[in-house]
Structure 1
Amino acid sequence: MRLRTVLATVTAGLAAAVLTTAAGPATAATPPAAAGTATGTAQVDACSPYVSLDRFSDALDKTTYDGTFVGNFSALAVDTDGSIAALEDRSSLFTLDAGTLRPRSVVPLADENGAALDSEGLVVDRDGTRLISSETEPSVRRYSRDGTILDRLPVPSSLFVAPAGRATANQTFEGLTMLPGGHTLLASMEYAISGDSTGIVRFQTWHRTHGPGSGRFRLAAQYAYRTDTGLGVPEVQALPDGRLLVLERGFTSGVGNTVRLYLADPRRATDTSGVENLTGGPEVRLVKKTLLADIADCPSLGATAKQPQPNPLLDNIEGMTVTGRHGNTFDVLLVSDDNQNPAQTTRFYSLRVTAPR
């Protein structure tokens, strides 16, 4: 989402030379490692009992590749070959080298009429196809590697942007993830729809009966999730046990960003697909959540900010993917959306996240 001022409004496998911070912008032809460092060597520093910050990188900030601006990143996913798929919210999908973060390729995206997308969520399916959400309508489409539309998933009419539905423009499908087993897709609305209590957002799922690429998705259960006051949900990522990592984010002009990482469990939540208005009452079991870390509590590791921030490490963090697992600890890669704004930074963050049992 392109955050407006009205809003009160990471891979351990990445090379250590890359995920240190860059002192300034690098050109696309310059290896990220040559852009400079502020922290020297990689460090592991605790943000909380569950989360530590390994490294970060500003190496791609304000660069271009093949004539395309590198930034505006809204989602990340690990591709079938181990590279990093990085989605821009302005209709481009990059392939980044997992070891250097250098762009390898970029594919333009569009809707059925050739119009640009406000592309926000990304899943790379097991067959290599891309499931991409746009918050314009909102929509979820399935694309081939070359950007050809293969399918479009149904969306409940209540989640459409008003007047067609009850959602607010620029506040719809932001997060997208595939649940374990590869049969259920989940999208998170960023903010509440009209008629639901402020702060209660809907998680919509789709289910398919066949394997990746061989079956159409149909609408399935919906769940209710309560955000912290003033925050929305820009990203969700499924863990192997069916729980979710959920990013909550907000922005206050003159203060900066708030970004928190939660562990959420939808497995015992009420299916709210038939509930017209969510009031937060006891008749609906919300998705249970546990705070893992407030990113403002992470060490800054020498990071600098171009605008006021509670911690100079912070920016408009919007994309997240799980890149590795070590027992109950996960390598998580985050990225910020710079909105192509001189006052913001495209920054990658490498976290280690332990999910409490």
Structure 2
Amino acid sequence: MRIRTRSAVLAAAAVLFLAPATFPAAAQESASSRLLGTYVVPHDLRVDGTPVGGLSSVDYDRRSGNFVFVSDDWSDYAPARYYRADVSVTERGVEDVTFTGVTLFRRPDGTTYPTIDTWREEQHQVPRPLRNVLGTVDPEELRVDPLTGEVAWTNEGQRNVPADGSERETVLLDPALRISHHDGRYVRDLPTAPNEKMTMGETGPRVNETFEGLTYTADGMQVVSALEGPLEQDGPPANADHGAFSRITVHDRAGLPTAQYAYPVEPLFAQPQPPNDWNTNGISSLLADEQPGRFLALERGYASGIGTKGRIFEFSTVGADDVMGRYSLAGGGFRAVQKKLLVDLDEIGVPYTDNVEGISWGPLLSTGERVLLVVSDNNFSPNQQTQLIAIAVR
């Protein structure tokens, strides 16, 4: 999800002159985690002619030893793509980040993905509603397959329905889970659960709240996806007064959905100012732990006039009910996943939290702790930051 903040402009501007920079960890730390440091990527950084920005996920490629970052650019600034980078993380924090290359995603015919406006122009003779998810993409999360080295990534999709409900101008782009070769060539799309298809708006995913989370289990035998927020029929999105239920879907190695679980999204951390202004809270990244059935979820909240908050929760699907066949979660009557707070970025001393959207495991430290790396999406705005935040987790 793109979050274009207004209230964070002054706070961001106050620290932009530090880029690139590393901040020492503050004294605060929780019982299970501590801040190692943060690093700010220069806003004007370009790799092979493309602007490095909109980084909405991070993952460690154990085959190459480097990290991969997907850009959620809808081909507006450059064709849809992902980056590779060498990231040096030690007990002293993120010491250096060197972007080593960019890979453009390809459609089945080998071409890059166009902007959504260009794609709509190309489709002006096609009967509506348009549903071709291969025509244009909005990437959100990318993971390296631990068994093959291919990359799995999500496309958020889109719904554009005219006020009169006419199919003549309707665009319904189903959210997608896509597999590409490491060089960007298209391989295939994974099946998605029936309730994750775009509709005219009464049911199904909400626009800009679809596949934000994706992860492989540690053994590589399952792919797990997460919707950012609730389905239309699952109740309203989370706000400062109440939380919401998102859905976590487990896919087998072939990609077939096998189970779906209700995930309780936290209420928004503060009332927006003014109270009726724009706000959101939901899952922006999903990461598997080594223990079967256990995962981490990054919840990113934004309250207009207040700012952004990032919290990482640990949860387990063990003991939760499979809700794939349940039409709505609004009425309760099921067991959701059990979760607990692992990291609150404010409480461990992150000096400034921007639009955090991705998490990945990093190296083991000599202390026995494991690094958890967080990345923020700057929305290509000079008033926001591309941050890398390194956390040591016991």
After TM superposition, the score normalised by the length of structure 1 is 0.81
CA distance in 2, matches of 1:343, 1:250: 18
1:44 is displaced (CA, Å) by: 6.7
1:46 is displaced (CA, Å) by: 3.6
1:60 is displaced (CA, Å) by: 3.6
Which of these residues, 76, 82, 97, is aligned with residue 101 of structure 1?
97
After TM superposition, the score normalised by the length of structure 2 is 0.73
**2:378 match:** 338
**1:249 match:** 300
1:178 is displaced (CA, Å) by: 0.8
Query: What are the residue-to-residue correspondences of 1:7-156 with 2, within 5 Å?
Result: 23-25=17-19, 35=20, 37=21, 39=23, 42-43=24-25, 45-79=27-61, 80-90=63-73, 91-99=80-88, 100-112=96-108, 114-115=113-114, 116-125=136-145, 126-136=147-157, 137-156=174-193
1:3 is displaced (CA, Å) by: 1.7
Cα deviations by residue, 1:144-173 (Å, 9 ceiling, x for unpaired):
011111111011232123328511111100
CA distance in 2, matches of 1:341, 1:174: 20
1:298 is displaced (CA, Å) by: 2.3
8 Å Cα contact 1:60-1:71 kept in structure 2: no
CA distance in 2, matches of 1:5, 1:191: 19
TM-aligned CA distance change 1:105 to 1:38, over 3 Å: closer
8 Å Cα contact 1:162-1:169 kept in structure 2: no
In structure 2, the residue corresponding to 1:101 is in which secondary structure?
strand
1:23 is displaced (CA, Å) by: 4.2
In structure 2, stretches of 5+ residues that fail to align are: 7-14, 74-79, 89-95, 115-135, 158-173, 237-243, 269-280
8 Å Cα contact 1:45-1:54 kept in structure 2: no
**1:10 match:** none
Residue 317 of structure 2 corresponds to residue 272 of structure 1: no
8 Å Cα contact 2:26-2:348 kept in structure 1: no
8 Å Cα contact 2:360-2:372 kept in structure 1: yes
**2:286 match:** 236
Farther-moved stretch of structure 1 (97-106 vs 226-235): 97-106
Moved over 6 A (4+): none
In structure 1, stretches of 5+ residues that fail to align are: 7-20, 26-34, 209-215, 301-311
**Greater Rg over alpha carbons, structure:** 2
In structure 2, the residue corresponding to 1:98 is in which secondary structure?
strand
For residue 66 of structure 2, what is the amino acid of its counterpart?
Answer: S
8 Å Cα contact 1:261-1:294 kept in structure 2: yes
8 Å Cα contact 1:47-1:293 kept in structure 2: no
Residue 224 of structure 2 corresponds to residue 173 of structure 1: no
CA distance in 1, matches of 2:37, 2:150: 30
Cα deviations by residue, 1:211-261 (Å, 9 ceiling, x for unpaired):
xxxxx3212111100111132000011110131111111111221002111
In structure 2, the residue corresponding to 1:195 is in which secondary structure?
helix
CA distance in 1, matches of 2:22, 2:184: 38
TM-aligned CA distance change 1:267 to 1:325, over 3 Å: farther
CA distance in 1, matches of 2:200, 2:393: 41
Identity among equivalent positions (%) equals 28
CA distance in 1, matches of 2:4, 2:17: 27
1:38 is displaced (CA, Å) by: 6.3
8 Å Cα contact 2:321-2:336 kept in structure 1: yes
In structure 2, the residue corresponding to 1:201 is in which secondary structure?
strand
In structure 2, the residue corresponding to 1:191 is in which secondary structure?
coil
Please tell me the root mean square deviation across aligned C-alpha atoms, in Å. Answer: 2.3
8 Å Cα contact 1:109-1:117 kept in structure 2: no
CA distance in 2, matches of 1:112, 1:157: 24
CA distance in 1, matches of 2:321, 2:376: 32
For residue 150 of structure 2, what is the amino acid of its counterpart?
Answer: T
1:201 is displaced (CA, Å) by: 0.2
8 Å Cα contact 1:22-1:59 kept in structure 2: no
1:142 is displaced (CA, Å) by: 0.6
1:285 is displaced (CA, Å) by: 0.9
8 Å Cα contact 2:26-2:349 kept in structure 1: no
For residue 344 of structure 1, what is the amino acid of its counterpart?
Answer: Q
